[in-house]
Structure 1
């Protein structure tokens, strides 16, 4: 961990936040590649945001739920709403979040720290998860912290992997959006387009795909994180 802190501190003259030091302690040892799928802790998460530019837009809400052994821990889920200076009309139409709404809201700093402490060193799971990670990383940078170090799993790419296409197959993105996959896997879409709702849906989707992955020879941490050619 000291090496990680040293590398990060060289990039900034500001002190490293305490929550970040705490977070880095979970990465002092690499996870064993032979860890079976049943022993891996996953955190399915989603962010609702003011837009799709991680550098300019802001987080409006977080939703996250952990799962291990292909079981979801609903007693320990996370949902938080974030105070931001303004909310774009488009975001309100999709997410229904108003800055003067009734939800109890936290500062961006409080919400981001809460999420990082919740995630620890879990494998982060999301649908098109790279965007959610990028916007969280942008928020972390504003707090003088580094980027997330967690391994991640994209359920869109995982669904393609489950289907075992040949490398020459033309993949239609519309076949792998969250709504389409929910219909295919018979997952309820209640609370869709809320962070907590989408995190729950993503977790259910992962739970339905993991047994299929095992049938494809994906049995452990190393197998799971192999890159798909698509």
Structure 2
């Protein structure tokens, strides 16, 4: 309900701006049943690589995503996009291994956002540690369309955090890293810091979390932001 009210408010401000059409179309084509079984809801699981750890200093370098539908990961929906930054990737290359020369043929953020919003319509966004990823996506949404994305979000890090704290008083060191969360479900270890690989790893974690939670998990139980 709160998300719907926020959308209504922002729609009044941006609806006259033709450049806001991609975001408005995404909102118009988004319908959810949060009280229904989670397998009846589609999810768009995404990950980003950036040149910095906050939106004030870094740039978006790549994004990867995959759709979860009917409780299954749809590998044919997998997408990996490189973006052309305004500045050099700098020291961040030592983490994500993306070099400046590989980004020369990347696309612009506006093109990426149009494609992302088309796929995101009607889906719950999923990230592992959502604040960083959604921060950069919201930044571009505001620059291009005049509003944050205002889409429902599931954060597998927060889901696992709540699960641990129901059983323990403190969270063990490294337990909330993507690899650490996957290990508790017997999922294999994947190389980190590739946006598509991390998106696939997060999608597997989401499915594992929901399946192990119970046989009657509602979509609402997997949401972090409504």
C-alpha displacement of 1:175: 1.2
Give the TM-score normalised by the residue count of structure 2. 0.85
Q: How far, CA to CA, are the matches of 2:84 and 2:104 in structure 1?
A: 10
Contact 1:55/1:135 (CA < 8 Å) preserved in 2?
Answer: no
1:220 aligns with 218
189 and 86 in structure 1: CA distance in 2 versus 1, 3 angstrom threshold: farther
Contact 2:85/2:103 (CA < 8 Å) preserved in 1?
Answer: no
1:26 aligns with 29
86 and 160 in structure 1: CA distance in 2 versus 1, 3 angstrom threshold: same
Q: How far, CA to CA, are the matches of 2:190 and 2:104 in structure 1?
A: 19
2:124 aligns with 123
2:86 aligns with 85
SS of the aligned residue for 1:153 comes to: strand
Q: How far, CA to CA, are the matches of 2:135 and 2:158 in structure 1?
A: 17
Q: How far, CA to CA, are the matches of 1:155 and 1:177 in structure 2?
A: 10
Q: How far, CA to CA, are the matches of 1:112 and 1:212 in structure 2?
A: 33
C-alpha displacement of 1:72: 0.5
RMSD between superposed Cα atoms in Å: 2.6
Return 5+ residue gaps in structure 1 as ranges: none
Give the TM-score normalised by the residue count of structure 1. 0.84
Contact 2:89/2:99 (CA < 8 Å) preserved in 1?
Answer: no
Q: How far, CA to CA, are the matches of 2:67 and 2:25 in structure 1?
A: 19
2:166 aligns with 165
Contact 2:82/2:103 (CA < 8 Å) preserved in 1?
Answer: no
Contact 2:66/2:75 (CA < 8 Å) preserved in 1?
Answer: yes
2:149 aligns with 148
C-alpha displacement of 1:15: 4.4
Contact 1:38/1:68 (CA < 8 Å) preserved in 2?
Answer: yes
- Size of the aligned set, in residue pairs, is 220
User: After alignment, is 122-131 or 96-105 more displaced?
Assistant: 96-105
C-alpha displacement of 1:143: 1.0
